[in-house]
Amino acid sequence: NNISYIEAGTINGVDMDAIANKGVILKDTGGLGDVYIYNNTFGRHSSNPISVVDNTASASVHIQNNIIANNFPTNSIGIYVPTTAIASISTLNNNLYFIASGDLIVWGSTYYTSLATFFGATGFEANGLTGNPLLDGSYNLQVNSPAINAGADLAAFFTTDKDGVTRPQSLAWDIGADEFVIGGLPTEGTPVAVVQAESGHHYYIVSFLARDPAAKSTISPSKINIPTLKRTIFICSICR
């Protein structure tokens, strides 16, 4: 439930882009036990946001539900795990990667730019994703973010996000430090967007194109033809 990023530009006379910086570094000097890196949002880092280095097989590292949006302008990587640390990785799944320039994961001596290839080789990141997480200026999720409802249930460890919002807000946890709340509403004119769909339960955000106040009396689920509709969230600027 943390946000980690570095400011761009020069701060106090220091060029921040010239500094090699990371989000999390794990280095075992003996006795490292269970480590959980859960539901964090990693933003702009000049090096890899998550580094697991020199770990022994006695450690157990779990990396899950993290947004790794490393939009640094030069080559960088998302997660770095050298050969000596591979045995310590117990969980690596449900993470969302958005790397502007570089590799998603370095695993030993292999550099991966595809999660499908990485999963085929390691068995990790079966539910991992790539794509723009659609973060706003405060690193909160926006409507239609692929991170929404894509996380694993980690209620055994915590049940709120960085702002104290209860997880989940719909049928599944969100990836990253922020749990999306219906409140970041789409603007009038945006198309129908499926927020969550599960067998027997369908959640939709609907923003209608009509601007004629008289049209509000004709709006109904049958009019928009959503099959097997169970639950619908209607957001309509003319329905005031």
- Please indicate whether residue 42 or residue 11 has the higher confidence score (pLDDT): 42
Query: Do 96 and 147 meet the contact criterion of CB atoms below 8 Å apart?
Result: yes
Residue 52 has pLDDT above 90, yes or no: no
Residue 3 has pLDDT above 70, yes or no: yes
pLDDT for the residue 69: 85
pLDDT for the residue 217: 36
pLDDT for the residue 94: 98
Total-model pTM: 0.71
Residue 108 has pLDDT above 50, yes or no: yes
pLDDT for the residue 64: 98
Residue 146 has pLDDT above 70, yes or no: yes
pLDDT for the residue 219: 38
- Please indicate whether residue 26 or residue 20 has the higher confidence score (pLDDT): 26
Residue 23 has pLDDT above 90, yes or no: no
Q: What does the pLDDT look like over 58-68, one tens digit per residue?
A: 678 999 999 99
Residue 103 has pLDDT above 80, yes or no: yes
Average pLDDT over residues 43-48: 61
Average pLDDT over residues 68-97: 84
Residue 185 has pLDDT above 90, yes or no: no
CB burial readout 119-153, b (16+ within 10 A) else e: beebebbeebbbeebbbeeebbbebbbbbbbbbbe
Three-state SS string across the chain, please?
A: CCEECCCCCEECCEEHHHCCCCCEEEECCCCCCEEEEECCEECCCCCCCEEEECCCCCCEEEEECCEECCCCCCCEEEEEECHHHHHHEEEEECCEECCCCEEEEEECCEEECCHHHHHHHHCCCCCCEECCCCECCCCCECCCCCCCCCCCCCCCCCCECCCCCECCCCCCCCCCCCCCCCCCCCCCCCCCEEEEEECCEEEEEEECCCCCHHHHHHCCHHHHCCCCCCCCEEECCCCC
Residue 176 has pLDDT above 50, yes or no: yes
Q: How confident is the model at residue 230 (pLDDT cuts 50, 70, 90)?
A: very low
Could you give the angle at the alpha carbon of 233 between the alpha carbons of 231 and 236, nearest 5°? 145
Average pLDDT over residues 130-146: 93
CA distance 141 to 97: 14
**What is the token pair recorded at 97?**
């990667």
- Residue for token pair 């991966």: 112
* Those residues with Cβ within 8 angstroms of residue 215's Cβ, 6 or more apart along the chain or in another chain: 208, 238
pLDDT for the residue 152: 98
pLDDT for the residue 215: 40
Average pLDDT over residues 102-129: 95
